[in-house]
A = this chain, B = another copy of it.
Amino acid sequence: MTLPETAPAGAEPADASAPTAAASPDRTGISRRGLIGWAVGSGVAGLAVGAGAAAAGAGILRGAAPPDEFAFEGAHQAGITTRVQDHLHFASFDMMPRARRDDLVSLLQDWSHAAARMVTGLDVSASGAVGGPSEAPPDDSGEAQGLGATGLTITFGLGPGLFDADGDRFGIAHRRPAALAPLPAFVGDALDEAYTGGDLCIQACADDPQVAVHAVRNLSRIAFGRARLRWSQLGFGRTSRTSAEQQTPRNLFGFKDGTANILGDDAEALDAHVWAGGGGEQAWMAGGSYLVARKIAMHIETWDRLRLSEQDRTIGRAKGTGAPLSGGDEFAEPSFHGGAIDANAHVRLAHPTVNDGVRILRRGYNYVDGNNGLGKLDAGLFFLSYQRTPAQFIGIQKRLATDLMSEYVTHVGSGVWAIPPGAQKGSYVGAGLFS
């Protein structure tokens, strides 16, 4: 195949006059889906929200651009505080055994270049799906032609394995973040290697699943010879929200999930709990974050046979309204005094008050992978969380050892990745690691 060119130093990542972007629907109507509510901190392209956005690292704001399009460049990568899109294609990659530092650098450059184009609705390269010579394979596989950006974000992560590769073949061992290490084993883990780990990860989120799939597929092509797909996961229903404009979605236990999530415009909470930097952190990680992924199989048939009161007790909230059992509405602060909420209810054990104030930003998805050999739906939650350090997730997950809910879930996949800050204009994600 013909690889798209690597990003030239001064390249414009997006060409708003190109045909694909021009074909994108809904160029008018910026209040659609409550865009204003997401602008601060989520990198909405095309909205001149000014200093507030810059402060929260919303990235480069261009002039006229369609809504539902999020800039690739910025202080932080998009896809973290961005309002959670409807669909996910997550992919984990391993570097090829003979790959070296230059391969890793060129891969991150090529990925960033293609990603910056795709998030505007463009093909991976200028010649794209049909603009190249007819006697060569097209650069772009073509199934996203005409679909537009549909809110696509592409977020890249670097796994622990890159930093302790044999012979330090990537030359980055000395820049390993102290916090970046494989997660410890947790009570109840039943991890499958087929859904665990990876040197690199891509989180592609979009409102059209074909756009997310197209992104992973084409980034996987671009990786040819340097990295290869280790595992991937589609998710179809978001299980959290990062904008007050979004309804709290429901997980496959039928409960609202993510009610108390960190919102994308809560700069104070983001600085305290999500953005890495300061202290002993590696300088290249400033403005980055850490991503934990957990594939959590849900025993939905067993759950479905629980009486409603037991379901409520397990979660600590009412199934219908999402209100804590201690009273109030969905957004009322739960009270853990008086016994209304069981001491081992999920909401209590995951709550900041029993975790030294620790919070994480979640943006998981529901999944159904067909069915298992017993005629049961193979379903669950693909949990994704962002935090300043993986220690936040580790602490909460250890606390959940006595969670009533653990009887109905099994963690079958796992991974942790350092999420570099956003690319600067004309540069690439991870550039700071190699400079």
- Chain A interface residues (CB < 8 Å from chain B): 1, 87, 89, 129-130, 132-138, 140-146, 194, 208-210, 213, 216-217, 220-221, 228-234, 236-237, 247, 250-255, 300-301, 304-309, 311-312, 318-320, 366, 368-371, 373, 375-377, 379
A250–B143 touching, CB < 8 Å: yes
Chain B positions within 8 Å of A216 at CB level: 377
A319–B142 touching, CB < 8 Å: yes
B247–A217 touching, CB < 8 Å: no
A254–B87 touching, CB < 8 Å: no
In the complex, how many angstroms separate the beta carbon of A65 from the nearest chain B beta carbon? Answer: 22
**A55–B413 CA distance with the chains assembled, in angstroms:** 53
Among all A-B residue pairs, the 3 with the closest Cβ atoms: A142-B254, A130-B320, A209-B236
B307–A136 touching, CB < 8 Å: yes
Residue of B132, B133, B145, B229 near A254 (CB, 8 A) is B145
Pull 18 A–B residue pairs with CB atoms less than 8 Å apart, ordered by A. Answer: A87-B236, A129-B254, A129-B319, A134-B307, A134-B309, A137-B307, A138-B311, A208-B237, A210-B366, A213-B252, A213-B379, A216-B377, A217-B377, A221-B304, A228-B375, A229-B371, A232-B377, A233-B370
In the complex, how many angstroms separate the beta carbon of A340 from the nearest chain B beta carbon? Answer: 14
Max chain B C-beta neighbours (<10 A), residue from A134, A146, A253, A318? A134
Supply 18 further A-B pairs (C-beta < 8 A) apart from A138-B311, A142-B255, A217-B377. Answer: A129-B254, A130-B320, A134-B307, A134-B309, A137-B304, A137-B305, A138-B254, A138-B304, A138-B319, A143-B250, A143-B254, A208-B237, A213-B379, A217-B300, A221-B301, A229-B371, A229-B375, A229-B376
**A63–B333 CA distance with the chains assembled, in angstroms:** 43
B368–A369 touching, CB < 8 Å: no
**A308–B127 CA distance with the chains assembled, in angstroms:** 12
Indicate whether A134 sits within 8 Å of B236 (C-beta atoms), given known contacts A141-B304, A251-B143, A371-B231: no
